[in-house]
């Protein structure tokens, strides 16, 4: 009996231990869950309190609401030539092949064109006049430009003017109850400032991304024909954002997004985006609206940056930076003002020019025939020379005029025609037996003013405004100098002989 009574407690103890071993993990898990839940609820209560001090979210919401109605989608179409096998083979020299051959072509065979579509962004900066700023690379060379507002309204562009050297373009639409965004002062932007990028990346309209100003004064494309003073940002910018605004926390447009830096052709946003500063946009926009083109100032010097070692050898005071003159063009404004080789230019028109890019941008922004003070160091001595700026020579900008699929210019395309240099082979193709000078009409847009005035493929333009032309560049130069309402007078000849005068109205450009 005694032994039975001692066994029962032992059994209960063993059972309790076994049950504890069995249920221990479950109990521990429940206890851990209760603790975690308590911590989560405590954190959530803490977040509710912290959110009351959140200033960024309301700020970003307010900026987006203020600016988004001014941001538009820019849809473009362009008639592009479809290359054929003959075109491809013509790129090669006879020595590239072990035997000679040529793809036969029918004389006057029409070109094959297809419509290419693209899309970018833009921002209304003058609602009263219907002016929209975007990128040249979005609308340059387009045959048709359509603007889609934030509320879905669509407008055809009344005209498009662009500047390839700054990648800035202006599109005008009907000013019909538009909402704009003001252009701010990009000189006031500082590294670390919050900014928002708004646009249509990957065809997703009204997308807003946030970041900061990463750097200023970036010069990315090392090409003497480009004018850049770019703002760098880590706000997400992708394909389709081009032409959209970069705005500050006041809702002002401080830049026009235009490019990204990527590690490969297959990469997207990597946190390195760039925008044309608003102050440069203002200058370019004003000229495009008032004159239809951009005219840049010119000194007539070749320059290079000065490194610290060179600065010391040239006697520059410590900390002074500039651009040293390595060549002075004969009879240029610089030569007439007395600038010499090895002069170091440190300031022009009151603005510091600490490097080549600074100097190029400052000079380009000055209107021709403007007298400005140029501060230099010569043999270690500081001097100021008055210089009357000139007009940038045509040969410096000729290759930057918008080109089509071959050598036609933007202005010629807007007349409804494509032009080509009149080579011997092309003259023979179009049936000219005798030597002839001029530029060939290589294509005429169907339904265009040019077609209505009976311009045809194969005709040769020998004169524009009574001036003889022997190249597409010469044609473009004369055409670009005409007033907007000035009629275009062409003298053309045909393979069958004879000449005709054709008059085209610029106000009815296609």
Q: How many Å apart are CA 467 and CA 447, to the nearest integer?
A: 28
Q: Catalytic site residue 137?
A: yes
Q: Are 68 and 198 a contacting pair, CB within 8 Å?
A: yes
User: Per the structure block, which two tokens stand in for 175?
Assistant: 């000013």
Catalytic entry in 167, 343, 358, 418: 167
Q: How far is the C-alpha of 492 from the C-alpha of 188, rounded, in Å?
A: 54
Q: Is 242 a catalytic residue?
A: yes
Residue 238 in 3-state DSSP? coil
**137, 144, 193, 471: which is the annotated catalytic residue?**
137
Kindly give, in sequence order, each residue whose CB lies less than 8 Å from that of residue 102, ignoring residues fewer than 6 positions away: 86, 89
d(CA 388, CA 321): 23
Q: Which of 242, 278, 332, 365 is catalytic?
A: 242
What SS3 state is found at 132? strand
Tell me how far apart the alpha carbons of residues 73 and 152 are, in angstroms, rounded to a whole number. Answer: 10
**CA 502 – CA 450 distance, rounded (Å):** 9
- How do 144-148 and 154-156 pair as beta strands? antiparallel
3-state per-residue secondary structure call for 366-415: CCCCCEEEEEEEECCEEEEEEEECEECCHHHHHHHCCECCCCCEHHHHHC
Element (H, E) at 260: strand 253-260
Listed as own residue / partner, the contacts of 160-164 with beta carbons closer than 8 Å and 24 or more positions apart are 161/288, 161/289, 161/292, 161/293, 162/136, 162/288, 162/402, 162/410, 163/136, 163/284, 163/287, 163/288, 163/293, 163/294, 164/136, 164/137, 164/140, 164/400, 164/401, 164/402
Q: Is 464 exposed, middle or buried (0-12, 13-18, 19+ CB in 10 A)?
A: buried
Q: Catalytic residue positions?
A: 137, 167, 242
């Amino acid at each position: 009996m005694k032994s039975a009574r001692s066994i029962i407690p032992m059994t209960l103890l063993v059972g309790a231990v076994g049950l504890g071993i069995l249920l221990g993990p479950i109990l521990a898990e429940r206890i851990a869950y209760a603790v975690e839940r308590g911590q989560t609820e405590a954190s959530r209560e803490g977040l509710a309190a912290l959110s009351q001090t959140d200033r960024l979210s309301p700020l970003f919401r307010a900026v987006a609401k203020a600016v988004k109605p001014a941001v538009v989608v820019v849809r473009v179409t362009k008639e592009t030539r479809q290359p054929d096998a003959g075109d491809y083979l013509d790129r090669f020299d006879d020595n590239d092949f072990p035997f000679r051959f040529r793809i036969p072509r029918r004389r006057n065979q029409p070109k094959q064109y297809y419509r290419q579509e693209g899309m970018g962004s833009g921002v209304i900066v003058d609602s009263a006049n219907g002016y929209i700023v975007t990128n040249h690379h979005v609308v340059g060379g387009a045959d048709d430009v359509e603007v889609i507002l934030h509320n879905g309204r669509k407008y055809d562009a009344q005209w498009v003017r662009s500047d390839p050297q700054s990648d800035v373009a202006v599109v005008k639409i009907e000013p019909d109850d538009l909402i704009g965004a003001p252009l701010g002062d990009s000189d006031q932007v500082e590294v670390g400032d919050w900014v928002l990028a708004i646009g249509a990346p990957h065809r997703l309209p009204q997308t807003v991304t946030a970041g900061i100003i990463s750097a200023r004064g970036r010069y990315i494309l090392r090409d003497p024909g480009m004018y850049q003073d770019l703002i760098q940002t880590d706000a997400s910018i992708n394909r389709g954002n081009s032409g959209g605004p970069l705005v500050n926390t006041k809702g002002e447009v401080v830049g026009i997004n235009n490019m990204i830096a990527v590690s490969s052709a297959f990469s997207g946003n990597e946190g390195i985006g760039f925008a044309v500063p608003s102050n440069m946009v203002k200058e370019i926009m004003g000229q495009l609206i008032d004159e239809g083109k951009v005219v840049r100032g010119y000194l007539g010097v070749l320059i290079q940056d000065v490194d610290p070692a060179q600065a010391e050898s040239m006697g520059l005071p410590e900390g002074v930076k500039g651009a040293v003159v390595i060549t002075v063009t004969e009879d240029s404004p610089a030569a007439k003002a007395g600038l010499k080789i090895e002069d170091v230019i440190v300031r022009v028109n009151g603005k510091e020019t600490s490097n080549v890019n600074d100097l190029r941008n400052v000079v380009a922004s000055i209107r021709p025939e403007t007298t400005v003070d140029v501060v230099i160091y010569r043999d270690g001595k500081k001097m100021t020379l008055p210089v009357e700026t000139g007009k940038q020579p045509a040969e410096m900008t000729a290759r930057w005029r918008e080109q089509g699929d071959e050598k036609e210019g933007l202005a010629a395309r807007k007349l409804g025609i494509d032009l080509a240099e009149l080579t011997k082979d092309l003259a023979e193709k179009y049936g000219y037996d005798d030597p002839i000078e001029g530029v060939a009409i290589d294509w005429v847009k169907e339904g265009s003013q040019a077609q209505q005035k009976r311009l045809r493929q194969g005709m040769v333009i020998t004169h524009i405004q009574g001036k003889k032309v022997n190249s597409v560049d010469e044609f473009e130069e004369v055409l670009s100098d005409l007033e907007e309402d000035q009629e275009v007078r062409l003298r053309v000849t045909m393979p069958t002989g004879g000449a005709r005068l054709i008059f085209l109205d610029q106000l009815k450009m296609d």
